[in-house]
Chains A and B, each alone.
Chain A
Amino acid sequence: MRFAAILILLICIPLLSAHVDSFNHSYLLKKGLTSEHSDVLYKAFGEFRGFLSDMSFLNADIYFHGGVYHLEEGETPHLIVEQAHATADMREEDHNGHMHDDDHEDAGYRHSKNTMNILLKISSGIDITRHIHLSGKRKKEILPWIYYAIRLNPKNVQAYSIGGFWLAVKMKKHKEGIELLEEGIENNPRAWQLYLTMGHIYISRLKDYEKAYDHLTKAKRFMGSGNADRFDRRSVLTFHAEACIHLKKYREAIDSWERILKDFPGSSQLRGRIARVRSLM
């Protein structure tokens, strides 16, 4: 029985440590210590907490699908895809790709019904074969796992980014989203993804173009040294340009668009916009 109690505590201690760490974080922050110094438990558990943080993030993705799906090797978690689509088009409901408005059967499970093995039939029958995305009031269900992902690993930029996006854009909890991203930036000052998400929120939700400009300028500065691909660059530069337009910083806007054109030379729509803005200068 000691074994049972130890096993349960071993499973729960990393999750519980997230709460202790949360207390540590706010308490020591008030004392003027950086999060790196305050993260004693992270140092104690090391890479294992990092692993659990990743698992928590994946769990958030699974929860997004109602607890049912398997991520294929090399496939991007769908929460990330969802955010990418939203930032790409600046309107979260206006995108293609993975979104499903209704349930559907995953083809992968269908063929298991064609078997004479009765136990296999039972096993397949127990599987949940429908595939949904959380919507409405149920969107909040991924939050606990985002919380654990960031508490277990304050360097989990992805979790901060998704968490901030989810709170501010999906759940319209702007204040909480911003606070989360600010914390993420404090722990990861060179994370361009977090500045991008901040910029996205200030532009699309809060219409505060000054703050959006500040954050997106930083995103632009840091993405060069980060792992941004051309689509990420396009997102940053597009938002940056939009903020600039609202602030009448036309030269900077054109500069951002021209940088996009280097990655996407065929974009005639963008060339048209550059020409129109030039005419305003």
Chain B
Amino acid sequence: MKTVFLLARHSFKELVRKKDFYVLLFLLIGLIIFFYNKTFFGTADASRYLKDIGYSLVMICSIILCVTFTAKQIPSELESKTIYPLLAKPVSRDQLVWGKFLGGLFMSAASFTIFFIVYLIFINLKGEGVKGILMFQAYIFSLCLFTLLSAVTVFFSMFLTLSANITLTLLLFFYFSWYNESLRSLLLDETLKMRLFYNLLFYALPHFEFFDMKTRLAHSWDPIPLWIFVSVIAYTLIYSTLLVISSSALFRRKNL
């Protein structure tokens, strides 16, 4: 485990030393301040649009950082051949895969935390604010989202090129964010012949829509019920673990 965390911490350093995070942070702050200061027809304290747009911006920035950073982890090690001195140390391929996955996750979590703090400061200064429990649930669910995204991206990096990996991961994410209703409707169709197949597909695909707290946060709805909160966290842990284990198995067979 120590080796895995060492590898993860090492990936984290890369985030700190690259400009990408800072560019997105300043862009985010600039945009949130811009929208924060806007008044509409003499009304200064309409705040739901700020919560909505702000949350979307925070998530877009974090997701792009997460996917692009994690997708590069193993391919860049292979391309730059830094993987050889690493594997010539007491580091197994499994540890490498887990280390890269956790590195992507820690990096995403850290950058999201900072973005989220900026967001919370501004939305609590304007209008109706946000309930504490909702903020907490949104934060945890976002971490779950990045866990799943990192796992999916690491898995795809075992057999896809960098650009194909990023594209497919983002496409999957946006599909489930916008069109999950269509897949659900399909399953609830009682005339459906291939019900078993669609059910299996439903289980196999990653459900990014579970983590979308934008509407609850922006419109001050009730928090998620506890059993669902716990179930989603459990789903994340199980699904991500299975994906990373599969990634390790694929990586063990990979010709370096």
Partner-B contacts on A (CB < 8 A): 1, 3-5, 7-9, 11-12, 15-16, 19, 63, 66-68, 70, 111-112, 115, 117-120, 122-126, 128, 130, 138, 140-141, 143-147, 163, 167, 171, 173, 176, 180
Contact = CB atoms under 8 A, between A and B. Distances in A.
B225 to A, nearest CB: 6
A148 to B, nearest CB: 9
A119 B40 contact: no
Given A4-B24, A144-B46, A123 B219 contact: no
A140 B46 contact: yes
A158 to B, nearest CB: 17
B43 interface: yes
A-side binding surface: helix, strand, loop or mixed? helix
15 contacts: A1-B18, A1-B23, A1-B64, A4-B60, A19-B38, A67-B215, A70-B181, A115-B187, A117-B187, A120-B184, A125-B224, A130-B221, A140-B43, A144-B38, A146-B40
Given A123-B184, A126-B210, A5 B215 contact: no
B179 interface: no
Interface residues of B, number: 51
A144 B49 contact: yes
Contact of A5 (B24, B43, B199): B24
B46 A111 contact: no
Given A8-B60, A122-B228, A123-B184, A176 B216 contact: no
A120 B41 contact: no
Given A112-B188, A128-B215, A140-B46, 11 more contacts: A4-B65, A63-B48, A67-B48, A68-B219, A117-B187, A117-B202, A118-B231, A122-B235, A126-B232, A144-B49, A173-B43
A176 B42 contact: yes
B48 A167 contact: no
A138 B180 CA distance: 29
Contacts of A4: 20, 24, 60-61, 64-65, 68
Contacts of B181: 70
B24 A117 contact: no
Contacts of B57: 8
Nearest to B232: A122
B19 interface: yes
Contacts of A119: 202-203, 207, 235
Contacts of A130: 221
Interface string B10-36: 000000001110011001000100100
Nearest to B215: A67
B4 interface: no
Given A125-B228, A144-B40, A67 B219 contact: yes
B42 A120 contact: no
A77 B227 CA distance: 35
Nearest to B217: A67
Interface in B197-251: 199, 202-203, 207, 209-210, 212, 215-216, 218-219, 221, 224-225, 227-228, 231-232, 235
B65 A66 contact: no
B225 A147 contact: no
Contacts of B41: 143, 147, 163, 167, 173, 176, 180
A19 B24 CA distance: 22
A256 to B, nearest CB: 32
B207 A3 contact: no
A144 B215 CA distance: 16
Contact of A66 (B45, B47, B199, B221): B221
Nearest to A18: B38
B64 A7 contact: yes
B202 A140 contact: no
Contact of B61 (A8, A16, A112, A180): A8
A223 to B, nearest CB: 26
